[in-house]
Structure 1
């Protein structure tokens, strides 16, 4: 656990992402301080840890030890005062985050690493009201963060290169795979890819080509399985046979732009939204949120274990 027992991480917010981080950090031996204004935060965290603990990475700390390294501090200044790392998970509201980081910056110790789980905002914008935002870095996870390894690391113009390096080292120390974006872009990389696939998924369901449940089956039994082992570019590099991507782009892929023109641009009107909701509830409404999470995380951790084993044998 890389000496993490001596480090304190303050997690701001006990929503979906914050809860996943809390579980992961405790699993890696960190001392975790939770800052939340919700009176029921201890109960929410306790229930989440019970749900998430079975799916933490192999070698994680015994969940029986979590309580001795977990504390709650509703006062923001006291919560961050002596923290080594602060991980913010507030709603995607720029003004709210600016106010938070202004207060964090005034209270945190010099040298602390400040991370935001934002999926859309730039560090410079979030730190605009700070005296010095050089230690503020985006560390955007892919849900659920206690299972999915990716973290997109995004710097601003005012971000210190040392802070970026430390962010990468921190995420690696808790078993994540950080990817540093070379320049900031709205919604970053992973969510842009997800959004592109979702747009065409909505189009296909809206046009009656497949149902919502069938669309999910199409993905999990084809490109989802493929992408668990190779990315889009390597997939098509292999699709070109011995000629690689060079051959594929000049033969099968020669009509890419024409194919892109055929992709749908579905309107997200009331009828479309209602249809998607009804189909989702018909397909998945028979199970509780907790049951669906357990099923998802059981399958995802099984895939990760299998991939790790495969890496050891290739």
Structure 2
């Protein structure tokens, strides 16, 4: 079901995230214009869509979906001129993004929505230099964008509420789970949660307590399985027995003050960097990244099918 007011989408910046958006938009039956000043960008976009397509076919393409509905336009002004929604994916550098969004804003139709895929920057910062700042939002996806449904939507101080509402409808219509975040904060919600675990993981490796492979196993075969269905709150609610979270908080409340975590980031020394890099390279020895991505994609498709089966709120047409 297309969101009728949004027919033409433009993707600005074609790195891993931009290319993921392009594949998703195409699979959902949209006409997509891609733009990126980097040499060789067009070839990389096409190759990336080719790689993602078998997974998207397995997931199910929308009526009229075709790889041929993609056009590459090197000129930014032309690329955004007729778009109803523009998805910006430039590198995470504030000055660069602000300058780019101001330029997109200048050249886009007055009622086009401009969404930034930023993982850390706040929308009030990003919209600061835009003439029509009310239509600038953050729409932050997760890799691989063509398969992972979550997209965090955040408005800045000047964002119009109806723009956020329209964006929410649009992302829902392309089989995503838009999470509208009520207040802006660096890193939004999901990345802050991941960052906390990432810091702790680096300490565990740095202090010689676990290897990268052991840390990964500790998540995969334990909390990761539960979190994929319930998230951290419901997981603990069930761990509290009949009284649920009430019992959990009474029992484990005091432990929150114990030194179980070291959430201040460790110094990224050369030694720690090498341990992490060597660990990851050992874990993937003999496998190409492309092969690992393919395996990941098949897994994510089956996992989402399983999630829909066991969690009623997870069917992709419903609310979060």
The TM-score normalised by the length of structure 1 is 0.93
Aligned residues between the structures: 313
Contact 1:203 1:264 in 2 (8 A): no
Question: Distance between the aligned counterparts of 2:238 and 2:100, measured in 1?
Answer: 47
Deviation for aligned residue 1:209: 1.9
Unmatched 5+ stretches in structure 1: none
For residues 129-184 of structure 1, give each alpha carbon's deviation from its aligned partner in whole angstroms, at most 9, with x where no partner exists: 21121000000011111111111111111000011101111110111111111111
For residues 51-93 of structure 1, give each alpha carbon's deviation from its aligned partner in whole angstroms, at most 9, with x where no partner exists: 11122273314898221x1101111110011101000000111
Contact 1:13 1:35 in 2 (8 A): yes
Contact 1:4 1:28 in 2 (8 A): no
Write the mapping of 1:1-314 to structure 2, written as runs, cut at 5 A.
Answer: 1-2=1-2, 7-56=7-56, 58-61=59-62, 65-67=66-68, 69-260=69-260, 265-311=265-311
Contact 2:138 2:155 in 1 (8 A): yes
What secondary structure sits across from 1:34 in the alignment? strand
Deviation for aligned residue 1:3: 5.7
Contact 2:8 2:84 in 1 (8 A): yes
Unmatched 5+ stretches in structure 2: 315-320
Runs of 4+ in 1 over 3 A off after TM superposition: 3-6, 61-64, 259-265, 311-314
Contact 1:86 1:115 in 2 (8 A): yes
CA-based RMSD of the aligned residues comes to 2.2
Question: Distance between the aligned counterparts of 1:250 and 1:304, measured in 2?
Answer: 34
Question: Distance between the aligned counterparts of 2:313 and 2:302, measured in 1?
Answer: 17
Question: Distance between the aligned counterparts of 2:298 and 2:281, measured in 1?
Answer: 22
Contact 1:138 1:154 in 2 (8 A): yes
Contact 1:6 1:30 in 2 (8 A): no
